[in-house]
Structure formats: structure tokens, C-alpha cells
Copies of this chain bind each other. A is one copy, B any other.
Amino acid sequence: MPQLTIAKVARLPEYYQILKMLSKKGREHVSSEHLAEVLGIDSSLVRKDLAWAYTGVQKVGYHIPATVKKIEEVLGLNNTKDAFLVGAGSLGQALMGYTGFREYGLSILAAFDIDQEKVGQKIGDTKVFPMSEFDRLARRLNIQMGIVAVTEDAAQQVADQMVEAGFKALWNFAPVFLKLPDDILVRNENLAGGFAMLGYELERSV
């Protein structure tokens, strides 16, 4: 009985991306060999990763629409998750304007900023509210996910406010390790650090 492990789940968004792409091109099936090549991994690994879905057909490959659907189910990409974003600077605006989130079930319902000039602006479908409204709206809408897009100095305070308002998962773009209760999930998006890795590999490869 094939099962999902953490390592597998982490690769599902990547398969999803490729499958959607192939789907757009009108492809109906894809082999583990092909997926493996695009991702630079072994085809056995692909088969193990996708075995739980039971969408593979011998001699033909994986049925793309069925596999897409299965991944959407297991990752919960259909039930839209509403999030609040704090910090409507350029990064916050980039996130608000990014249409790709919709495909992954994320909707940024509202943004917040202390800067009065930013309040009232609308980027994409998202409106910027004054920070003073944060707590009231978060509680009323029972929001669970928060996006921290403020500066380093403000991040911890914003995170505390989110926890206070009942948030359960935080997506942190500030270059800080937030101190939070153990039951709060955090994903740190350390862009600069990720870049540093690329630079490291570049130097090694020469």
C-alpha cells in the first residue's frame, strides 16, 4: 500500500506544475521517465511518489487529468484558503498582484499597513486596510493564515498580533526567526539565503 511521506508531499507541487503545463498542451498521459527528466530525479522515485494516486496505466503512463485531480485533493488546492497579508510594501504588493496563487487555493483576502498613503489602495483584487482594523476583521472572518511582509523590525510584533487574533499558520518573508508558540506553523521564505545557495553551487561548478 503506497503511502505519502513528507518528502513525497514536498514534491507534489512540482509534479502539479508540470502536469498542468502538459495538460494545457493537450497531453493526456505522461511517463514517470519524462517527469523524472524534467525534475532531474530518478524515475523510480517518481513512481513511488505517485503510486498512492493509482492513476498510472501500464504501457501508457500516468493519466494527467486524474493525477492533477488527486494532487488537488490531497493538497487541498480546491478548498480556498483565505489569508491576511500585513505589509503593503513592494514585496507585499508583488504577492497581492501575483495571480498564480489562485491555482494553489490561496486567496489574499485583505492587506494591512500602518502607512496611511497605502491604505485604500487596491492591488489586484486585494484592498489595503489600516492596521487598526486588523484585529477586528481577522476575528470576524476567522482567518487562520497570515503573510508577514513587513520589515525585519516589525515582523515579530506583527506575528504576535496574528497569533493573538487566532492565526494558526504564518508565511514569513521577513529575514527573522519568529518566536512563536509551538502549535503555530511557520514557513520562512528566506529568499536571500536561497540565492546564496545558488551562488555557492555556481562557484563549485566552475
Contacts and interface: CB of A to CB of B under 8 A. Distances in A.
Nearest to A123: B90
Interface residues of A, number: 60
Interface stretch (A14-22, A49-57, A113-121, A131-139): A14-22
A77 B168 contact: no
A75 B9 contact: no
Nearest to A149: B94
Interface stretch (A61-69, A96-104, A158-166): A96-104
- Chain A contact residues: over half helix, strand or loop, or mixed? helix
A13 B177 contact: no
30 contacts: A13-B190, A13-B192, A14-B190, A16-B193, A16-B196, A21-B177, A75-B199, A89-B94, A89-B97, A90-B94, A90-B97, A90-B123, A93-B94, A94-B94, A95-B191, A100-B175, A100-B192, A104-B192, A104-B196, A105-B199, A106-B192, A106-B196, A145-B198, A145-B199, A171-B198, A185-B201, A185-B205, A187-B195, A189-B191, A189-B194
Interface of A: 9-10, 12-14, 16-18, 21, 38-39, 74-77, 81, 89-91, 93-95, 97-98, 100-101, 103-106, 123, 144-145, 152, 168-169, 171, 175-177, 183, 185, 187, 189-203, 205-206
